[in-house]
Chain A
Amino acid sequence: MADEKDREEIIVAEFHKKIKEAFEVFDHESNNTVDVREIGTIIRSLGCCPTEGELHDLIAEVEEEEPTGYIRFEKFLPVMTEILLERRYRPIPEDVLLRAFEVLDSAKRGFLTKDELIKYMTEEGEPFSQEEMEEMLSAAIDPESNSIHYKDYITMMVIDEN
């Protein structure tokens, strides 16, 4: 029993250090606060994948009662530690991602046209901003056919992350 407790304490201590590192990189003034607009980036850089809606709720949890535009480390740490301990917002596995693309590619051609991708990404779900759309297209699109061969795209992205 005691052994297990020790191990958990060590795990929590390591999480704390990891979270602190990720937080500090965005703490420009070195005063233990970050701009609220960076919280999404910090959480995702720690390996979690909340949707925009889930992110919105998380921010509400860590914000001050009267929002200042800044999030303090003291409020962020316990919330983020819980998320890591509970393994919430796990990243999307490669095969699930592939199937998602296949769903959109109803004709099973192995690719999506540029217009189709734009339509889905900017009109459905939690729509992309123009910047996000351009960013995805710049890396994903094959300029000759003006289409996205999603299987290759996914493979390339996965290699990148590892």
Chain B
Amino acid sequence: MGCSSSSTKTRKSETSLKAALIIQNWFRGYKARLKARQHYALTIFQSIEYADEQGQMQLSSFFSFMFENYAHVHKEELELRHQFLESEQDTWDRHDYVDLIDVPDSYNGPRLQFPLTCTDIDLLLEAFKEQQVLHAHYVLEVLFETKKVLKQMPNFTHVQTSPSKELTICGDLHGKLDDLFMIFYKNGLPSESNPYVFNGDFVDRGQYSIEILMILCVSFLVYPNDLHLNRGNHEDFMMNLRYGFTKEILHKYKLHGKKILQILEELYAWLPIGTIVDNEILVIHGGISETTDLNLLHRVERNKIIDILWSDPRGKNGCFPNTGRGGGCYFGPDVTSKILNKYQLKMLIRSHECKPEGYEICHDGKVVTIFSASNYYEEGSNRGAYIKLCSGTAPRFFQYQVTKATCFQPLRQRVYTVESSALKILKERMISRKSDLTHAFQLQDHRKSGKLSLSQWAFCMEKILGLNLPWRTLSSNLVNIDKNGNVEYMSSFQNIHIEKPVQEAHSTLVETLYRYRSDLEIIFNAIDTDHSGLISMEEFRATWKLFSSHYNVLIDDSQVNKLANIMDLNKDGSIDFNEFLKAFYVVHRYEGLMRPDVTNLV
């Protein structure tokens, strides 16, 4: 009692207040740094993804170049020809696709009944949850019917909403079936009273692209006026070659995969460009440009569109070539205002870019990005989201994140997973340019000390890799820094190397082949018209010659020939190019040892 006791009490509560403040302050700082690390990881993923897309554009132009110059390719072969010419009319009919394929009695998967009903949707969902594969007969039939119906649709679908009929808009799904299940679980299955728009990029990257496509197509056939599909830049056979959908199909459908790919290509061409909601909201996959002419787009033959599927909104006024991706443009808020005003629209909803929260609003509320593939880059990288629209009310956003665990790992573990994944692919990029990087470093290192200032190092990294990343902040993760703050530039290459398939291969050659391995794989696959997995030495040499001239790759032809000769293990004059390319892979020396202990404190 009395004064002294209460002053002790006050003093005590003052100290505990101070202590609490210290702990809170420290924790907030720690949490913020974790968040920043997560953002850096996403920036790495995104830069590399867009740089790869540039590579894709380059590959496209190479194919045109190759087609014109390559005399040995069997130009008469329908497959190759088919891939490069725009097919104006249906070259195949139902008989070629579906009727020749029987569904055996032993098949345990889902059996669809045409004309399709909502029972078939349920059937598919149940089957895919059980990891079953739909028989090729049904795949082809669904694709064929879908294409037929799509052809009747206009380039832009006009949709009206009402309080009893809200519209749900979903963005990129990229083969992530769990995200589609999540959306249907939270928001209900499609129906006349529950319409959906899927804004492109249903396929590629994820493992279940064909399953997603089947669910969407079947739903579309059952509810053609209430399930709207817009074309994305990944609804394209060249993109599918690089980003995994083609592989998935050929793997799941070894017998009939080729047929499926053929009809898929035709289906893509007839996917609508966009949706217009309540005459005031435009929904398309990529974006717009200052020359976007909606009236023209309404009328044009839609299998020829490019820009609209690739553009990205940015803060700077004007319209600039989208150098990040190599296609489409960057459009500023002024372009948005101009185009929206021109057509009396209030908002543009688009997808195409991964956002940490699944959605993002920019250009003063006029442009919304919606992205529905959660954990797109890596477990924990981002949320997915969808939008609900109803005329007269503001759009509502719903977010989710699919996770394998029943409860979330702590933030530090999630960030660690994303970060180490991002750093790994960045390091692989670095090793694929080791020679060029080393050369650039040495040019700056006048005293031949093996060290550069952080500034010099960052400059070289950005210049050679062409990636706009926060190099200074990332430096501690990529390279050794001495106590004076100087970078030991060769230390990046210590714990990682490209496995050489043969000892005699020169390191520059190895690097180049590693760097272009995706492109080469696609090119060789395209040449391998009988899908045997083998190409002749002659074809290999001719293709390599064209490739190196188009890509300005300065590798001695004789070196490549020597390598090919060695790889021709059977000595029968043919090369198994998949084996050839698989032989180039990166070895991380400390993989498996790098993870810190994740156990709980005891």
Q: Interface residue count for B (Cβ, 8 Å)? A: 46
Q: In the complex the two chains form, what is the Cα distance from A43 to B442 in whole Å? A: 35
CB of B393 within 8 Å of the partner chain? no
Question: Which residues from 547 to 602 on chain B have a C-beta closer than 8 Å to any C-beta of chain A?
Answer: 596, 600-602
By a CB distance below 8 angstroms, the chain A residues around B315 are 27, 29-33
Residue numbers in B under 8 Å from A139 (CB-CB): 410-412
Contact mask B261-299 → A, CB, 8 Å, 1/0?
Answer: 000000000000000000000000000000000000000
Q: Which residue on B lies nearest to A153, using beta carbons?
A: B601
Stretch at the interface among B35-43, B63-71, B154-162, B497-505: B35-43
Are A44 and B410 also in contact (CB < 8 A) when A21-B470, A25-B43, A100-B23 are? Answer: no
Do residues A121 and B316 form an inter-chain contact, with CB atoms below 8 A?
Answer: no
* Contact status A124-B33, CB under 8 Å: no
Cβ B601 vs Cβ A97 within 8 A: no
Closest to A23 in B: B470
A22-B26 in contact (CB<8A): no
Which residue of chain A lies nearest to B22 when distances are taken between CB atoms in the complex?
A100
Known: A30-B315, A96-B22. A132 touches B473 (CB 8 A): no
Decide if A60 is an interface residue (CB 8 Å cutoff).
no
Q: Please measure, in the bound complex, the distance between the C-alpha atom of A104 and the C-alpha atom of B28, giving whole angstroms.
A: 19
Q: Tell me which of B22, B33, B362, B412 contacts A29 (CB under 8 A).
A: B362
Please, what's the 1-or-0 string for B472-492, where 1 marks a CB less than 8 Å from any CB in chain A?
Answer: 110000000000000000000
| Bound: A126/B24 CA distance, A | 7
Decide if A124 touches B16 in the complex (CB within 8 Å): yes
Contact of A25 among B17, B30, B36 (CB under 8 A): B36
The reply to whether A17 and B20 contact each other, CB–CB distance below 8 Å, is no
Cβ-defined contact, B470 with A52, below 8 A: no
Does A8 lie at the interface of the complex (its beta carbon under 8 Å from any beta carbon of B)? no
Are B601 and A92 neighbours in the complex by a CB distance under 8 Å? Answer: no
B314 lies within 8 A of chain A by Cβ: yes
CB distance from B42 to the nearest CB of A (A): 9
The contact of B410 among A25, A29, A135, by CB within 8 Å, is A135
Within residues 104 to 162 of chain A, which ones have a CB less than 8 A from any CB in chain B?
Answer: 104, 120-121, 124-128, 132, 135-136, 138-144, 148-149, 152-153, 156-157, 159-161
A101 to B313, CA, bound (A): 48
Specify the chain B residue showing the minimal Cβ separation from A123: B20
Residues of chain A contacted by B32 (CB below 8 angstroms): 40-41, 43-45
Whether the pair A30, B33 counts as a contact (CB closer than 8 A) is no
Which residues of the partner chain B approach A44 to less than 8 Å between Cβ atoms? 28-29, 32-33, 36
Q: Is the CB of A132 within 8 A of B601?
A: no
By a CB distance below 8 angstroms, the chain B residues around A161 are 30, 33
Q: Tell me whether B27 and A24 are in contact (CB under 8 A).
A: no
B31 within 8 A of A: yes
A78 located at the interface, meaning its Cβ lies under 8 Å from any Cβ of chain B in the complex: no
- List chain B residues, Cβ under 8 A from A56: none
Q: Is the CB of B454 within 8 A of A100?
A: no
A18 to B29, CA, bound (A): 18
A115 to B27, CA, bound (A): 18
CB contacts (< 8 Å) of B408 on chain A: these are 138
Contact A29 B313 (CB under 8 A): yes
Interface of chain A, main secondary structure: helix
The answer for the CA separation of A41 and B25 in the assembled complex, in Å, is: 13
Collect the chain B residues with CB atoms within 8 Å of residue A157's CB: 30
Residue of A nearest to B476 (CB): A162
B472 lies within 8 A of A121 (CB): no
Within 8 A of A (CB), among B291-341: 313-316
A22-B473, A25-B36 known; A91 and B24 CB under 8 Å? no
- Min Cβ gap A41→B in Å is 4
Q: Check if A120 sits within 8 Å of B16, measured CB to CB.
A: yes
Cβ of A42 under 8 Å from chain B: yes
Within 8 Å of chain B (Cβ to Cβ): is A49? Answer: yes
Task: State A124–B25 Cα separation when bound (angstroms).
Answer: 12
List chain B residues, Cβ under 8 A from A41. 32, 35-36
A28 at the interface (CB under 8 A from B): yes
- For A97, give the chain B residue with the smallest CB separation: B26
Is residue B187 within 8 Å, beta carbon to beta carbon, of the partner chain?
no
Partner of A132, one of B20, B28, B470, B471: B28
For chain A, residues 69 to 99, give those with C-beta under 8 angstroms from any C-beta of chain B: 91-92, 96-97, 99
Give a binary string over B370-413; 1 marks a CB under 8 Å from any A CB, 0 the rest.
00000000000000000000000000000000000000101110
A 37-51 to B, binary, CB cutoff 8 A, 1 in contact else 0? 000111111001111
User: Distance (Å) between the CB of B309 and the closest chain A CB?
Assistant: 21
Q: What residue of chain A has the Cβ atom nearest to residue B415's Cβ?
A: A160
Closest to B30 in A: A157
B455 CB within 8 Å of chain A:
yes
Contact of B28 among A52, A100, A141 (CB under 8 A): A52
- CB-CB < 8 A to A136: which residues of B? 27
In the complex, chain A residues whose CB is within 8 Å of the CB of B522: none
Any B CB within 8 A of the CB of A1: no
> In the complex, A87 Cα to B21 Cα: how many Å?
20
Interface contact B22-A92, CB-CB below 8 Å: yes
Is B15 located at the chain interface by the 8 A CB criterion? yes
A120/B20 in contact, CB under 8 A:
yes
A28-B36 contact given A49-B29, A51-B25, CB 8 Å threshold? no
Q: Does chain B have a CB within 8 A of A2?
A: no
From A40, A97, A128, A160, B22 is in contact (CB under 8 Å) with A97
Contact call A121/B28, Cβ cutoff below 8 A: no
Give Cα A125–Cα B35 distance, bound, in whole angstroms: 23
* A14 contacts the other chain (CB 8 A): yes
Q: Which residues in B have their C-beta under 8 angstroms from that of A156?
A: 601
Q: Within 8 Å CB of B36, what residues of A?
A: 22, 25, 41-42, 44-45
Question: Quick one: which of A22, A43, A97 contacts B470, CB cutoff 8 A?
Answer: A22
Within the complex, the shortest CB–CB distance from B510 to chain A, in Å, comes to 32
B57 at the interface (CB under 8 A from A): no
Q: Give 13 A-B pairs besides A17-B472, A29-B363, A132-B27 with Cβ atoms closer than 8 angstroms.
A: A14-B455, A21-B470, A40-B32, A50-B25, A51-B25, A99-B19, A100-B22, A124-B17, A125-B21, A126-B24, A132-B28, A138-B411, A139-B410
In order of increasing CB-CB distance, the 5 nearest A-B pairs are: A31-B315, A29-B315, A45-B36, A44-B32, A21-B470
Q: 13 A–B contact pairs at CB < 8 A?
A: A25-B40, A30-B316, A40-B32, A52-B28, A91-B26, A96-B22, A103-B19, A124-B21, A128-B27, A135-B410, A142-B601, A149-B601, A156-B601
